[in-house]
Amino acid sequence: MKKIIWATWMLVTLSIAGYYGYILFKADNKQALLIGETSHGHFQIELACSSCHTEAFGGPELIQEACVGCHGAELTEANDTHPKKKFTDPRNADRLSVVDARYCVSCHTEHRKEITAPVGVTLPEDYCFHCHTDVGGDRESHRDLAFDSCASAGCHNYHDNRALFEDFLVHNHAGPWLKEIARLTNPNGAAILASKRVPEQQPTFPEQKAAHPDIHQEWSGSSHADAGVDCGGCHSDVSSGEWLENPGIAQCQTCHIHEAESYKSGKHGMRLAQSLPAIRPADSKMPFKETALSLQQGCNSCHSAHRTDTLFAASEACLTCHNDDHSRGFDSSPHGQLLTQAIAGAIPVEQAVSCATCHMPRAENIIDQETVVQVNHNQNHNLRPNEKMIRPVCMQCHSLGFSIDALADPALIRNNFNGKPANHIPSIDWSLKRVAD
């Protein structure tokens, strides 16, 4: 009897080991290896285990390197107010007993859904209080505030407070809620860098061109044609140079390297950065239209393959897939109405506001001693926290105070800013009083 039990145990053990060995080393789908559900920010790449776990038995230092590898540039740009060096300073050693802020995973723990808040934070909401117990004594305005309200919208953010620094609040406290001349400083049509990266040698593929005169005609009026990018500039395999029927991001990034890199940093393209298949709306946790669920995301999801139509990419492409309240409310919102007027020619295009205006803003950069305008294709860049929109987007048309109040109003965000904020956030008021005192 003992031999039967022993043999059964060995058989079960070997079967389980064989199964997980196959999953680990051979299978494409490694879902069975997950120890728990990942957060909304990382679920797309949860099957690319090595993107975070660079070594099988790596400790927190290696995982920290993986975090910084993806998010380091964002933290540098934000002038991170809680950098690691602050907590490696011996004078702050006592704070580590509250939270070991040297490591991202102290707050952002994956595979622990039961303790993970919607934004991926796993600590109690009052964790600010434990290090800032004296704030009520230093600032009268904060004396009676709840301990879990520090990170409320319009107040403090752990990493990025650029739009809420006291001197910035004071300097920009005045002004009407809507500027008399409300227009974007970087309108559509500004010069972009991609036109300067046209490959010198391109396969011509005359047979393909002759076989598709309608496509050639459409292409002839595009910015690609203006820049001298022929069929072979896109429809050629990067390694072999042979005809490629369906070009992908590998071909696009030969010219559009900045756009491709920022695209792969956002949720639309982050799977591609880990050599995973592109995401489909069906794979996401957000609400999408039924007709779009099977569409794989890529450059051509928004940009037509053979014609230049940035207007479609800036708004209609988004609404082709997204089906949440905020997206559905765009057309009837004041922003959507401005876009409709611009399309009709009633107002200049730089006064229009599209989805891309807020979620994919343009920025001026110096490249080869020349000022160029580049579009940030990481549509998540200014969403966490959403106050990051204030400086580059909202304040081009609105006052700082209105922007803070609007972005702190969940109902107003849901209806796509169709109305005015229901409540006032007193951040500017407190800053002015503090300076006056």
Rounded CA separation 403/391 (Å)? 9
Neighbours of 359 (CB within 10 A): 20
Output the six-digit token pair for 163.
């739009």
Q: Which residue type does 118 have? A: P
Q: Tell me, what's the pLDDT at 6?
A: 77
Tell me the torsion sign for CA atoms 209, 215, 218, 219: negative
* 176: CB partners within 8 A, 6+ apart: 399
Phi then psi for residue 364, to 5 deg, are -85, 135
Q: How far apart are the first and last CA of the chain?
A: 86
| Torsion angle of C-alpha atoms 179, 181, 186, 189, degrees rounded to 10 | 140
Q: Tell me, what's the pLDDT at 192?
A: 47
Please give the sequence-ordered ranges of beta strands (E in DSSP) within 41-95, or none if there are none. Answer: none
List, as one string, the DSSP characters of 286-329. S-B-GGGTTPPPSHHHHS-SSS--HHIIIIIHHHHHB-SHHHHT
Instruction: Give me the helix-helix angle, 400-407 and 427-436, nearest 10°.
Output: 140
List, as one string, the DSSP characters of 343-395. HTTSS-GGG---HHHHHS-EEEEEETTEEEEEE---TTTTTSSGGGGTTTTGG
Neighbours of 219 (CB within 10 A): 20
Q: Tell me, what's the pLDDT at 12?
A: 75
* DSSP H/E element including 367: strand 362-367
Rg of the chain taking only CA atoms, in angstroms: 26
Q: Which residue type does 155 have? A: C
Which candidate, 44, 67, 24, places its Cα nearest to that of 274? 44
> 321, 281 in Cβ contact below 8 A?
yes
Output the six-digit token pair for 114.
């039961």
Rounded CA separation 243/236 (Å)? 5
Q: Tell me, what's the pLDDT at 406?
A: 96
Output the six-digit token pair for 274.
């880990």
* 216: CB partners within 8 A, 6+ apart: 209, 231
Output the six-digit token pair for 420.
């005015």
| Torsion angle of C-alpha atoms 287, 288, 289, 291, degrees rounded to 10 | -140
Output the six-digit token pair for 87.
């907590």
- Residue reference for tokens 């860049």: 381
Rounded CA separation 72/83 (Å)? 11
Which candidate, 135, 157, 160, 154, places its Cα nearest to that of 146? 135
**Which residues of the chain fall short of a pLDDT of 50?**
187-195
372: helix, strand or coil: strand
Rounded CA separation 43/36 (Å)? 11
pLDDT in tens, 117-152: 877 888 777 888 888 888 888 888 888 888 888 888
Domain residue ranges of the chain, discontinuous segments joined by +: 35-171, 193-397
pTM of the model: 0.85
Q: Tell me, what's the pLDDT at 392?
A: 86
